[in-house]
Structure 1
């Protein structure tokens, strides 16, 4: 069947379903907007909290992302549910804490353990792409996947019509040196710098689907290692003395340019007011000794990728929808990437059903001023023995003690050695330096009890520390 005929039939079916079945459990909201918006996710990888202009950076210009923040809502307490890559992506695509279905740890790279039969986003979970595709959206993923390399985990088996990118956790940016960049399921030889290639593919997707609703997830591997940058971009940052930071700046500049290309293409196609754009990073920058650092900075936060401190889980976060969400708004209440699924579905006019058991919430009424209540009473984290809970301004956290003790060694069976639980008031101490647990024992007990209740509802990890393949963590 020709694409145009298929599109007409699909749109006719949706119109009939919305008319005949509204309010009868169809999943299509009866008050769906007349012109359903496109949804574009821009996901950075290992970006430092303080490395964008709108986050206070002064040495790395990011004009396109700054403009996105100025034209939308900047969330100063934006979080992710995982301190590193794959768990955050699992939570993003399901709208559920990934620990509920055992996706607590990274599955590994493109081969080896990641190719194991059951190491990937469980097929029992339904993704945002699945749900928007069922609602008639064209769906595409450009960039990093990192949710399993086995055929059953492939993006095109998880709701995405189209895929261009790589399956593992990291990739050289000079892709002609490596043979595992895919278009769909076929390996392609990519000559362009990978961030530029992802930009090209995202623009192509927009051009081919601009006449009907689409969902595009552009998941950069920038600014994750390896530290690869084009010579011309590195030359722009000769004033940065640290060579790693200089390369990082060049990599981030390429990401900013790619984001700008996408935004400009939407504007040129007359889609700016018809597109919900969301930008965030999958976790904080890797700044801790003992990790593979990339030159990022998480100022003014303490901690790093792989920790439950703010530096690991608090990230730059922007939502923009011209004409629907306010421009230039700063929103301080805590939100989390789990909210993206219900927010995108609400924008598309799709009702979230109770049986989906989502942990995220629709942010639209909170960001457009229709609700003055915080989206969440409490947020939670668990990564092996690391743990955290935020309620209001209070945060109770147990984190990788490598942050405090240089040279501390990890136990492969139970994860890294961790600190005792510590209590911080983030409104007064965003850097988590002043432990208030002794002065506020009741608050510490309250939060610990709430965290333990939540943790007790979670699944045992499907792989990694504490999984069936290793002794449970103490």
Structure 2
């Protein structure tokens, strides 16, 4: 696990700004491959899809569905074949990327139960989120889409550092033609800056329009936009016209999934086109990834060639489509096989904004830009870790150790066996022992969940019902 070095010796922000200006003037002729001079504080666009299968994009090799806008983004940026999220469920991953820390360090290990009256059900207020840090550096911050980090007033995006907001607060939502009900998570009203908004005809295109409008409103001031789609999460409700485009797909669940994903791709395309039209593309750093692996048996997604799905700590639960693009600085059209994590968004964003990494707690992400420009070589991470209740895993280079409840530790050589089919722990006892020790040491740094979450509430309700019988 890589922890950013202390920042006490870092030069003041003014010196950083002067240094960047001098680099922009004097370095263009001697820049290393893949690098161009920094343009000052870049815009930061973070795009997250929901329950998106590893194989489900043109740039990942999909043949039965089309993602031309994501493919164009991949062609202009870097595609990571070993891009990971920090948890195999929606909300914990989002808590990790908003803090730059393994979310179990502060007890956010479950999807919070939707309860506007319970401030415990969500991302603890002890954590300062990425947008709040960026605001201190003069960034205009915006959120569009899905929140899923707590529904109580103190936990909402307007109170966690986002100046402009549009979307829904819960963990999922109907896409069209819903009956608004503040008590039903998937039917809650859409909100703008905390106030109820008229329901759009379809959520996915609406999120694309809102992202484009945000970009057009802010052509000069540096901004951070968190564009968090609920597509292609269920319930799949594509328009009939979009569904008809995928009539060649005979599985009806897969067909709806492909259509919903296509709508999201178009919405992403609208945001990216707005960057180009407003002249902001070359000064915008873009991240794209899914919040977890596809739940293949539920939504028609495809995690080929990986084992497992959403909820699992096998590769299919945590390895996701992962892109980074910055046309003005990072050479595009590349594939990178190094391990990177959603946790890296935080450290990368702060570094680009000239915000020192805080030193009051442990952070787990790294600034990826130097690795992408060639200023740094080697692996950004020595190890990555995962925990979902009693399921744990650690990856170290090409080795991965998986620990399940009541099972012997499993060891996989991902270089030879990306599908995690052949447990080779018996043949590599020293590696197994070393990774098990690292996993146990990491696990001791974490705390237990601090809220019951959706599963916990459901379990308690079931027990209460059985007790009455």
| Alignment TM class, shorter chain as reference | 0.7 to 0.9
Contact 1:27–1:352 under 8 Å retained in 2: no
Which structure has more relative contact order (CA 8 Å, sep 6+)? It is: 2
Q: Which residue of 2 aligns with 1:249?
A: 258
Contact 2:212–2:270 under 8 Å retained in 1: yes
Segments of 5+ residues of structure 1 without an aligned counterpart are 1-21, 400-416
1:441 and 2:433 are equivalent in the alignment: no
Q: Which residue of 1 aligns with 2:174?
A: 172
Segments of 5+ residues of structure 2 without an aligned counterpart are 1-9, 21-37, 181-187, 461-469
Contact 1:28–1:350 under 8 Å retained in 2: no
Contact 2:189–2:199 under 8 Å retained in 1: no
Deviation at 1:133, TM superposition (A): 0.9
Q: Deviations over 1:3-47 (max 9, x none)?
A: xxxxxxxxxxxxxxxxxxx93589977745553110001100000
Contact 1:176–1:191 under 8 Å retained in 2: no
CA distance in 1, matches of 2:19, 2:171: 40
1:361 and 2:366 are equivalent in the alignment: yes
Q: Which residue of 1 aligns with 2:11?
A: 23
Q: Deviations over 1:354-396 (max 9, x none)?
A: 3342110000111111211200001101111000000000000
Q: After the TM superposition, which of the residue ranges 129-138 and 168-177 deviates more from structure 2?
A: 168-177
* Partner SS, residue 126 of structure 1: coil
1:389 and 2:391 are equivalent in the alignment: no
Contact 1:30–1:349 under 8 Å retained in 2: no
Deviation at 1:352, TM superposition (A): 1.6
Deviation at 1:56, TM superposition (A): 0.9
Distance 1:314 1:34, change over 3 A: closer
Q: Which residue of 2 aligns with 1:408?
A: none
CA distance in 2, matches of 1:166, 1:215: 19
Which of 160, 179, 188 is residue 158 of structure 1 equivalent to?
Answer: 160
Contact 1:180–1:187 under 8 Å retained in 2: yes
Deviation at 1:418, TM superposition (A): 6.0
CA distance in 1, matches of 2:448, 2:346: 24
1:345 and 2:350 are equivalent in the alignment: yes
Contact 1:301–1:431 under 8 Å retained in 2: yes
Deviation at 1:347, TM superposition (A): 1.7
Which of 34, 42, 65 is residue 37 of structure 1 equivalent to?
Answer: 42
* Partner SS, residue 427 of structure 2: coil
Which of 428, 442, 457 is residue 454 of structure 1 equivalent to?
Answer: 442
Contact 2:101–2:363 under 8 Å retained in 1: yes
1:213 and 2:206 are equivalent in the alignment: no
Contact 1:107–1:147 under 8 Å retained in 2: yes
CA distance in 1, matches of 2:58, 2:202: 24
1:225 and 2:213 are equivalent in the alignment: no
Q: Which residue of 1 aligns with 2:34?
A: none
1:297 and 2:299 are equivalent in the alignment: no
Deviation at 1:180, TM superposition (A): 2.0
- Normalising by structure 1, we get a TM-score of 0.86
Contact 1:46–1:305 under 8 Å retained in 2: yes
Summarize the alignment of residues 58-457 of structure 1 with structure 2, pairs less than 5 Å apart: 58-108=63-113, 110-111=114-115, 115-174=117-176, 176-178=178-180, 179-288=188-297, 293-399=298-404, 419-457=407-445
CA distance in 2, matches of 1:250, 1:181: 23
CA distance in 2, matches of 1:244, 1:27: 56
Distance 1:313 1:84, change over 3 A: same
CA distance in 2, matches of 1:162, 1:95: 22
CA distance in 2, matches of 1:431, 1:319: 25
CA distance in 2, matches of 1:156, 1:434: 48
Q: Deviations over 1:72-96 (max 9, x none)?
A: 0111100000101000000000000
Q: Deviations over 1:199-250 (max 9, x none)?
A: 1111111111122111001000000011211111000000000011000011
Distance 1:433 1:115, change over 3 A: farther
Contact 1:396–1:424 under 8 Å retained in 2: yes
CA distance in 1, matches of 2:376, 2:290: 26
